[in-house]
Homo-oligomer: A and B are copies of this chain.
Amino acid sequence: MKVMRETIVSTARELFRSRGYAGASMNDLADAVGLKKSSLYVRFPNKEALVPAVLDLTLQETFGQRDPGSKQWDAEFVEVIELIATTLTDRGRCVGLHLAYGTSDETPIAKDAVRAFFQAHRDNLASILSRAMPADVARNIATDTLARLEGATAFVAIFGEKDAMKRAVRLSIEEAKNAAAAKPLSSR
């Protein structure tokens, strides 16, 4: 029976997240979705092609359903980073980071996909923040917020601790609000 493409992609994501690019095998993926290995090559030309698919799906789930500007900038910011933080806490690892560490010049397609993934995250966050502060400040806060969430995820992965993630969310929100108050947009 036909297996849906999204099933393959989201299962590949689980494997990449937990075992990394090198550690996830096409055979494991095939078993997990109930196919034979060779059938996967009908859908994807090779293992590397799974990486953009996995990261695009994740981007879609994170930013795809949003309605930019429907809320106050701060409510929107809180909503997005809490969604990201919850996913990272629940899954215990970040697929994007595992793939970032696990890809290299030998896997250029995967490497590009990883860059696009994090660039999209930063751009989306900066876009929200830039409604209340200058673009350069927004970009830095977006970067630091993502860095904080990634770092806090390490403590979930290593110790199972969720406290660091809670503080990361709280401190990032505070930082954004402080910046909005200290450097409001002059052009309005």
Contacts and interface: CB of A to CB of B under 8 A. Distances in A.
Nearest to A102: B20
Contacts of A104: 18-19
Contact of A22 (B23, B114, B143): B23
| Copies of this protein chain in the complex | 2
A115 interface: yes
A126 interface: no
Helix, strand, loop or mixed for chain A's interface? helix
Interface string A76-97: 0000000000000000010001
A120 to B, nearest CB: 12
Contacts of A148: 147-148, 151
A20 B157 contact: no
A154 B97 contact: yes
